[in-house]
A = this chain, B = another copy of it.
Amino acid sequence: MRDVAALAGVSHQTVSRVINHAPGVTAATREAVEAAIHQLGYRPHAIARSFAEGRTRTLGCVAPNLTDFTYASNMEGAESVLRRHGYDLLFASYHDRPFESVVETLVARRRIDGLIVISPYVDLPVSALPADFPLVLMGGCPREDVNHLVYLDNRDGARQATEHLLALGHTNIAQVTGPQQEDCVIERDAGYREALAAAGISRDPLLTLEGDWSATSGYEAFAAIPPEATAAVAQNDRMAVGLIRAARDGGLRVPDDLSVIGFDDMPLASYFDPPLTTMRQDTFAIGQTCAEQLIAALAGSAQDGRAVRLVSELVVRSSTGPPAQRR
């Protein structure tokens, strides 16, 4: 920068003005400086700038992992908008370490200006963050303890899924859940119950099985599903796929003997056999929304925060259908 200033015959401050597109520079000076910059191949030092400015122009994004398509897609959506706003994106996963340590590294040491947390866990210690730190939480239900929230209405989604099965004529509807302490599991379970209750069906606890989101757990859950069930709502597509496989291995036809609906509309959901009926969520858009919220929070607008509610949409394919005669 000093060299540029010398070459252009101005002070380093004028160079600073030029690279920051600050007003109050003659066109002539500006051109001279730009010529010098070009000639010297000068590039502003991002770290020095961050240091002087007191902000990093870098935002963090933490997710449980990346291999889950849902999270990866969220993050990609967020990246696309943050990048457009001139921010860099620091990524951290917290599957192998406590969330607090992420906060410690990224926030307490002031490496980032704001944070997007993708979390299916209701008990995430957001309190580990300074109260006024720009934070957007991507969660699975409404909550009061966080300023900026983007959430997928899981309760509504599960209700829709269950209603779809009810509308087809099913009355014995099983449920395969994720780990029961997770936020969205609780919500989806609530939606399932609400739909049953609204249909005047008393809920049989034996019809609910707990999995761990994996296809294998869906497969294993099948063995525990009472034979009178004619349909099942799986809380994600992987478990739905496992369940279908197990049902077929057990000699059942899908959907004739057992209808199965999933959740997520993962890639290739339509390429399974039978093509999966599922609840679609636009994960890319969710990520984008989170990023927009964060940008707004950083700009100081939306000071009070607001919760953005997103809903999932039923996609009917061929893994659900009316119940067949008694099997």
Contact = CB atoms under 8 A, between A and B. Distances in A.
How big is the A interface, by class? Answer: 35 or more
A109 B46 contact: yes
A106 interface: yes
B76 A67 contact: yes
Contacts of A51: 47-48, 50-51
Contacts of A104: 43
Interface string A43-65: 11111101100001010000001
A44 to B, nearest CB: 6
A150 interface: no
Interface stretch (A89-97, A119-127, A302-310): A89-97
Interface in A91-130: 91-93, 96-97, 104-106, 108-111
Identical subunits present: 2
Candidate in A45, A46, A51, A97 with the most chain B CB atoms within 10 angstroms: A46
Contact of A109 (B44, B65, B245): B44
Contacts of A75: 66, 91
Contacts of A268: 215, 238, 241, 268
Contacts of A245: 271
A88 interface: yes
A3 interface: no
A242 B48 CA distance: 51
A273 interface: yes
Interface string A235-252: 000100110010000000
A88 B105 contact: yes
A327 interface: no
A88 B108 contact: no
25 contacts: A44-B109, A46-B109, A46-B110, A46-B111, A47-B50, A47-B110, A65-B76, A67-B69, A69-B72, A76-B93, A79-B92, A79-B93, A80-B96, A83-B92, A83-B97, A88-B90, A88-B105, A89-B90, A90-B90, A91-B91, A238-B267, A241-B268, A271-B272, A272-B272, A272-B273
Across the A-B interface, give the 3 residue pairs with the lowest CB-CB distance, nearest first.
A273-B273, A46-B109, A43-B108
